[in-house]
Structure 1
Amino acid sequence: MDAIGEMVAASGKAYTAYRQCTLKERKKAISAIRTELRGAVMTLAEMACRETGMGHSVDKARKIALAIDKTPGVEDLKTEVLTNDDGIVLTERASCGVVAAVHPCTNPIAVLINTTISALAAGNAVIHCAHPRAFQCSQRAVELMNASVREAVGIDHLVAILPSTGHRVSEELMHHPDVDMIIVTGSDTAVSAAFRADKKVIGAGPANPPVIVDETADLDRAAAAIAQSAAFDYNLLCVSEKAIVTLDGVAEALLTAFARKGVQVLNTQEMEKVEKILINGEGDIARQFEGRSLKDILNRAGVTYRYPAKLAVGEARLSDLIVIKEVKVPIVPLVRMPDFKSALQAALQIEQHNRHTAGIHSRSIARLDEAARAMDTAIFVKNAPFISAIGFDADVPCAFSIASRTGEGPISARHFTHCRRCVLSEAFQIR
């Protein structure tokens, strides 16, 4: 038996044992994971930064801590009960089995922890397939989680990781007959590969989140919210603002508001220099700059960096590739439009029907409603930082995988289950 076959067999055996555990024991396993990982947050964050070459270690630590503390557990598995003259109908969420989880390099540890807690809360075993640029830090996180589960409930291999990485091994894992479910957080290509395995798939595909700022908005509040979110971890999060669409009549005032909030405002020539290095000659994103600091990128582009800015904003055209493509850097293009209708159409064009994340800053209730309906995204944020939608500085459940392709939206334990209906005839009604 090959390495993948052996790992799937071990995970299947672990799942069989775990399936006999009570909900209290699942809670015990998850509590052990949270306790173990809390002591390793900064270590894992620093490992991820070194290995991937992306992001800011303090921000990564915040992401990891968020995943540890705010990922929903077994409480997310709601039981539905219907009683009537004919008896009782009970609908519960049952485990799927062995889950294959394919991860990106942008948020490797936070996604891995979030997925593990969700999968285990639902009663599954999980095998992780790490990105090649994030293997060592992912392996260390899995070692800590598996050891804590083994000590808590006496089951080994409930959390596992493939010993090698790459498209070939991930596809082999996804197509293994004893893998029951797949979750992919990454590109359209990776999600499409999962669909070919012909089993339950959660597909968290690409994004390019636009934010509209209209003339009714509180501009200082809007600028502060965008700065907080887009600067976080050098704009690596898939939900963070990647482009701003505003109206001609308010654009200058908005740029001034950004400057007041410590954002570096770039002129047209500086934005052209930035785009030249971020988009290569073939029109593709220069990945080596993703997740790098503002200072590093501006220095490379030949633009003077103004300390202590963490984010830059500069004007661009709707047709510019830096606007249309999802470039994960702390530089956000701003596009002017003549009116709200054209601004909304521009936002739709930027979002490219990914149906992932979008938002608006406005005091108009009608526009808040119109934009939310038109964008039709899994996450829509009104008058707040986009990162609040996944739990940062907000009383919101943590989710690091946003299933825009398969429609589940922010992922939690209940999405790692099958619905099972039990019908009992007669009685059980006390009305």
Structure 2
Amino acid sequence: MKHILFLTFLLPSILLGQHTIKGVFSPPGDYDVALLYKATPTVSKYISNAEIKEDGSFAFKLDSTATNGIYRLVYAIPQEDYNFDIIYNGKEDIEVNFNSETGVNFVKSVENKLVASYTNSMSKVTQSIANYFSQKSKDTMALKAIFKTQREAQLNFEKAAKGTIALEFIKANKPFIPNKALNVETYIKQLEYHYFDHVDFTNKTLQSSSFLQERMLNYVFGTTDQTKNDAENYRTNIDVVWDKMKVAPPKVKRILLVDLWQQMADLGHDSVANYISDNYLMDIAIELNDQDLVHTLILYKDTSIGSEAPDFDVKVKENGNLVAKKMSDLKLAKNYILVFWSSTCSHCMAEIPELFEFVKALEPGQVKVIAIGLEDKADRSKWEKTILKLPNFIHVYGEGKWDNEIGDSYGVTATPTYFILNKKKEIVDKPINLEALKDFFESVD
């Protein structure tokens, strides 16, 4: 009985303390809590959270149910931006230090240190190649020696990683290594051509990590043809990436393409974001019956630069009377500013009067402001009092606030939000703030 009781107390401690992931964040005052997820090709499963102590230290205890694979440690919000991957092989404790300036350093973990060592070693060889070409050296024997070092380093790391999860990343990262000396132009072209040679988009380990996203983005944004503009380069590179990733499952392709689409949208490359949608992503959204994504893509395209602005009803003064018209029928100015605001938004209440003064100082007939007040029904009286101070604006009452048809048609999720239209009511700019709006008009001849 004593032995049974002993095992009863011992087993939970064994199960709960099989391995640990611990470390230190610095500077410590910048972090409060860390979250740990087990990553899979399509979702991340929440495992646990750990308080980050005053000295920046944290620790996770993994029980016997923790399977090997890729884990993701999140340390700030938004989670998709502030995280890093950890290889857990189910056999070892892991210790890591993270600094906001220098990044991740694995103190303890054979597999993670192996990948880090590989990355560091190959980066040094790449730098040697760059130095050789930048010095315009004619010593082809020296270049061949660098390539030999690179080839041997790759082979040695693959041997050292045999039987580990780390091997998947070392093999996938294998660069193009020439067997002879090449000039710089040929070498760069060959690097680009062979960039995805060893990247298997069907590999579940790679799918579970951030590797495929990083590889994709590095190629799209890092491969350039000087004879093309940015948008042309991006479209060409996206086609190459698609040709490589099309073997992946639809849900994986969705994740990768949404990431790329969002990058282009965030950078203001509307035409490229819509190219991704029109040629690849919309078909995947339909295949997966992802109605939310379908709606998002359509909405973005409808409010992209160059698109005809979604129409809505307005009331304008003609001969002293308010007359109902469609926004698209207005012929009052060379440009129109649509501003979505709210009388309960303190930032709006500071910015809208500034917008009023800015527009008032412009040449007559250059700009007309259409101000859509996104308001809760209970706040209508406050809105009515506020617009009395803005007599030259065309005011539209947007009842329902975030559940308003006009706001929804423009994808508005924050106030103030600006759109600039030309006289044809085509969207010509989407300034992120009032200063950007001013810059637009100050740059117009």
TM-score, normalisation: structure 2: 0.25
Q: Which structure is higher in RCO with an 8 Å CA cutoff and minimum separation 6?
A: 1
Q: Bigger radius of gyration, 1 or 2? A: 2
